[in-house]
Amino acid sequence: MQCVNVENWTYCRFENKNFMALITFGADPACIAEDRMEYYVTVLEDEDKEAFQATFDSLADACVYLNENYGDWSFSDQSVTKSGCSTCAAH
């Protein structure tokens, strides 16, 4: 089974029909004051509607959660070169 890890999390995700599960990062005002980041496991529907989000203090914990909960979905490596007209950013 392929998994998302601390090395590939910026370009890998899991997909299931019109849903995708991925890790992003950010911060709220308290995090910014403490000079730290948070990691978010986010499930998107149709690429733009947030269906679920969980917050983690460590990237490793976010990876474990993502793999345990969505690892049975299709693994998608976004760094793989695609070809053909329907693979451009406009589609």
Measured in degrees and rounded to the nearest 5, phi and psi for residue 69 equal -95, -25
What is the C-alpha to C-alpha distance for residues 64 and 71, in angstroms, rounded to an integer?
10
Q: Look at residue 69 and tell me if it is in a domain.
A: yes
What is the C-alpha to C-alpha distance for residues 19 and 5, in angstroms, rounded to an integer?
20
Domain that holds residue 39: 12-87
Q: Look at residue 37 and tell me if it is in a domain.
A: yes
Q: What is the pLDDT of residue 4?
A: 97
Q: Which of 56, 75, 76 is nearest to 64 (CA)?
A: 56
Q: Look at residue 35 and tell me if it is in a domain.
A: yes
Question: How many domains does the chain fold into?
Answer: 1
Query: For every one of its 91 residues, what pLDDT tens digit does the chain have, with 9 covering 90 and above?
Result: 799 999 999 999 999 999 999 999 999 899 999 999 999 999 999 999 999 999 999 999 999 999 999 999 999 999 987 666 665 555 4
DSSP string, 16-55: ETTEEEEEEEE--HHHHHTT--EEEEEEEETTTEEEEEEE
